[in-house]
Chains A and B, each alone.
Chain A
């Protein structure tokens, strides 16, 4: 097998891209990870071409971290209201979804691969943004507005490392990013379309289990630096609160520790190593609870961090 070098996905024409995907030959690089994807779904090819334009891609490189597939399960539903399922090496960890959600399912499936297999990192459910080498970690429960704020800041001077998964290097404050598309939901979609006219949106998909979802392409500058780790300097738990004045309240270390453990996917796997990594981190890094009503106010507050 001759290994082709990696080149931006945009350099693949639509027809060859569809063929590579159908034959399971397309590999995409996202931060430190390479994922090989198989799918014959048109929406998968279309959204990959739109949202992963600048990501390095290759035709059947010798090694990939994960080999994933979006395929239609066998049975009569292949044709009647078709469904798709996500598979890692033939194993389908979730129930199938309507074919219209094929791309969203691929994104969620890749998140699952990382959260349940990448124990070389302490994986946190959090967004990560960076300015230069300094990164801010944004852990928050679903519905707090984390992805909305992350998408906004990523288009206002911050480098996007991740909107969903923070990859902490155990024993250090280093964090690795993926620069993958940002998944926003429901009312946030319209709001961000207005606030970020330059952002690239994929078509919104209604009626998913998270409501209507849309993916926003990561800014090209973030993708260009996706392989570079950053150093965690701040932890901010953001919460959107309509009509509330902007307020920032420091969080005590014990409380911050409990919150980070709650947001870790593999704290139990890494055990003592995870405990030491997080306690060392919290010894140096302040943790702040941020309430805001307007994205611009939050942007100003983030701008002032460390200055």
Chain B
């Protein structure tokens, strides 16, 4: 493979899923692969994939980077387990189970596709009625609100589906406390209480729960569908592919349950999006044939082609930046009504241009 060309999302995904293919790569292929993996936050996953190969399968120059990736993955796993334990202890005071979302949930449930997956913040879901108590008990245990700017505080509290991120004063770790699945202003309104109800305990971690398989996939799909900034778009697409493959193999009638939960939670559009992009970009098996595409869908496919792959100069072309900017606008369009969107983006633009004055005005 020459530089850049041939490194499609499907080719990369296959190498991570079936690492035997890595043994055939030469130094130049590895040069490109390490660059793409590092930029897409996938070095940990790549390093864990290499564990399945005999030790001499890699060129000598590659091994140090895999060692480094393994160290990062091990640190992440260590830190997240510790953090989960601290959060669980805090929520126990309120008799609330700890319900993990996204990366932390995949790690706690030890889903095979998520071994070595990097992520920064821990996401948890709590009942909306208890949000004040949760904020209080987390503060007592050392987490403090970030985003002290009054506009940001109001933005989160009035419109968003989560508290402003809370950062631990000593460890510096960040927890996002969700009380809904999507912003209060979004066009969809999936019922968080129903997701909490269906959450399942995690083997070996008493007091810790993760969303039920179908809900976990729907949550992942909903977030990627609504996400405006996609520096980790490729990693998140791999999550969806991994969730489809894993649960289809381990859960009885997963497709049927998924359809039922999708209808109950009114998340048809995000699921259709996830199925379409996974089938199209990664060749995920067992998905229903996507509906024929109209003009609008063709355009969206083209935009997502740029956003759901590693964002690296080797793969980007003249249209990539514009495609990502359009998806940023689209995501905000889905998240809030037009009048609020106009106000929010104008406000953000002013704050970026004149940070001091915007602060003073808030």
Instruction: Contacts A90-B312, A269-B71, A269-B72 given; indicate if A64 touches B78 (C-beta within 8 A).
Output: no
Q: Would you give the 0/1 interface string for A260-283, flagging 1 where the beta carbon is closer than 8 Å to chain B? A: 000000101111010000000000
**Residues of chain B with a CB closer than 8 A to A34's CB:** 61
Chain B contributes a number of interface residues (CB within 8 A of A) equal to 27
Binds B, one of A47-55, A112-120, A192-200: A112-120
How many A-B pairs fall under 8 Å by CB?
Answer: 57
Q: Is B30 an interface residue (CB 8 A)?
A: yes
B39 and A119: CB pair below 8 A? no
Q: Is B28 an interface residue (CB 8 A)?
A: yes
Q: Chain B interface mostly helix, strand, loop or mixed?
A: helix
**Residues of chain A with a CB closer than 8 A to B51's CB:** none
Q: Is B337 an interface residue (CB 8 A)?
A: no
Q: Is B189 an interface residue (CB 8 A)?
A: no
B59 and A90: CB pair below 8 A? no
Chain A contributes a number of interface residues (CB within 8 A of B) equal to 21
Q: Choose among A62, A89, A270 the residue that contacts B39 (Cβ–Cβ < 8 A).
A: A89
The A-contacting residues of B in range 1-48, CB under 8 angstroms, are: 2, 26-28, 30-31, 35, 38-39
Q: Is B120 an interface residue (CB 8 A)?
A: no
The B-contacting residues of A in range 1-37, CB under 8 angstroms, are: 1, 32, 34
Name the distance in Å between A117's Cβ and chain B's nearest Cβ. Answer: 6
Q: Choose among A1, A67, A117 the residue that contacts B68 (Cβ–Cβ < 8 A).
A: A117
Instruction: Contacts A89-B312, A120-B67 given; indicate if A63 touches B78 (C-beta within 8 A).
Output: no
The chain B residue with its CB closest to the CB of A272 is B78
The chain B residue with its CB closest to the CB of A66 is B35
Name the distance in Å between B64's Cβ and chain A's nearest Cβ. Answer: 4
A90 and B311: CB pair below 8 A? yes
Q: Is A91 an interface residue (CB 8 A)?
A: yes
Q: Is B292 an interface residue (CB 8 A)?
A: no
B65 and A62: CB pair below 8 A? no
**Residues of chain B with a CB closer than 8 A to A273's CB:** 71
Q: Choose among B27, B38, B62, B75 the residue that contacts A89 (Cβ–Cβ < 8 A).
A: B38
Q: Choose among B38, B74, B312, B313 the residue that contacts A117 (Cβ–Cβ < 8 A).
A: B38
**Residues of chain B with a CB closer than 8 A to A65's CB:** 61, 64-65
Q: Choose among A1, A32, A89 the residue that contacts B313 (Cβ–Cβ < 8 A).
A: A89
* B contacts, CB < 8 Å to A: 2, 26-28, 30-31, 35, 38-39, 59, 61-65, 67-69, 71-72, 74-75, 78, 311-313, 316
